[in-house]
Structure 1
């Protein structure tokens, strides 16, 4: 592996960690860059290797959020366990079948997400209490199951989908949604890592330097989000959703 390739991968990992720490969606930067820069590697090896920097960046970003955001730890633990198992299953399925048939569906969903978020100016600006404890648990587990499986099977935009679901369904504000999304995302990454470790599909010479870069980006991104608050995160969320939309649109219509 030449040094120029490693440097470019680390730049991509830093950028991904920065974006991911704020609203998710770092996979839009990191995954395409790695697939382009490592054309001779099996796709499963590339994707498996990227789970290490994704976990690293999310871990350090989560630490920043936990210093400032109050968490419901019993609920978070249940979501994390569910997401871990779902992501493991999704990654297992990825090694067997193609995920391309899902991209047109995700493309349509992203259009609706962008329109909804843009039109609702107060979206995610404050906490809205709207469910009983029992219903909150049930909805949280469903969210973790579906998006956890999605993250293991497809990946890009999973963090953004978690943020959206926590706001639109559970009534969190952007700050709370981002903090809880980081914890669940840690679990989805870990579930995929365990699967790819068992498959022997991680290239450590790429994964480790990217992990350091992603972690630095994650720390800086989380600090900026916490400093700027909900309004800044909403704008950033819209930008990332739009970028995700363009990415899936390209895959659907041109690839």
Structure 2
């Protein structure tokens, strides 16, 4: 019972953070591994997806009600992200991810330094593309990060947000709202793969999912209330946390 309470509280906090800017896995995955150290890693990853997808999907719906989204670009991008995630999951069975594991902290550090250096980055919503061109760019982002999520995964939501800001000219609020839809697609692909192989504890995932949605509701409301500047600040904190976590996993564990 205590174990279930611990992972449920972690899921609540993960849903809160993930709804604002992504990065919920930074909280929930280590919690699952800490509480269930003898479980198969695939089962813990699958259980994480079984809970997190509901909070991400809920955030997508809430953002869609309040933020004007470029559906003509995001729907094909979500399809590309889903296909990319499936391709990445297949690729990881053939190619080891050790090199990417070591490179990731440095990639994230570059994202953080660039964001800090560009004080105006993501504060104003000024899309650089429109129509079919915007759809092509968004689908490219969806496919590339989708493959990454299926192949490795940490920081997927943050990468979506950063690329929507940097390449499409979105502010952080619109980027985060858009990223939720694509992240839901990649989570769905991953969950399907884990469920197909029996690597989901549904009884635990169901309880965590309720908490994740509650956290998502709180995080979405805060992001909508305080806008792009608030989301940017949380983005910086989450990326800094991701750098610390991925560097530890790559070089110290």
TM bracket (short chain): over 0.9
Which stretch shifts more, 152-161 or 110-119?
Answer: 152-161
> Residue 66 of structure 2 aligns to a residue in which SS?
coil
Query: C-alpha separation between the residues in 2 aligned to 1:100 and 1:11?
Result: 31
Deviation, structure 1 residue 18: 0.4
* CA distance in structure 1 between the aligned counterparts of 2:111 and 2:2, rounded to whole angstroms: 38
Q: Which residue of 2 aligns with 1:5?
A: 3
Query: What is the distance in 2 between the residues matched to 1:100 and 1:210?
Result: 30
Task: Spell out, residue by residue over 1:90-109, the C-alpha distance to the aligned partner (whole angstroms, 9 max, x if none).
Answer: 23344565433311221111
Matched, 1:237 2:235: yes
Equivalent position of 1:254 in the other structure: 252
SS in 2 for 1:130: coil
RMSD: 1.4
Residue 159 of structure 1 corresponds to 157
Q: Is the 8 A contact 2:26 2:242 kept in 1?
A: yes
Q: Secondary structure at the match of 2:185?
A: helix
TM-score under structure 2 normalisation? Answer: 0.95
Structure 1 spans left out of the alignment, 5+ residues: none
Q: 2:200 aligns with which of 199, 202, 206?
A: 202
Gap regions ≥5 residues in structure 2: none
TM-score w.r.t. structure 1 length?
A: 0.95
Distance in 1 separating the partners of 2:150 and 2:68 = 28
15, 25, 28: which one aligns with 1:27: 25
Higher mean C-alpha deviation, range 91-100 or range 220-229: 91-100
For 2:228 and 2:216, the matched residues in 1 are separated by 18
CA deviation profile, 1:123-180 (whole Å, cap 9, x unmatched): 1011223235343222211110111121222222111110000000011111110111
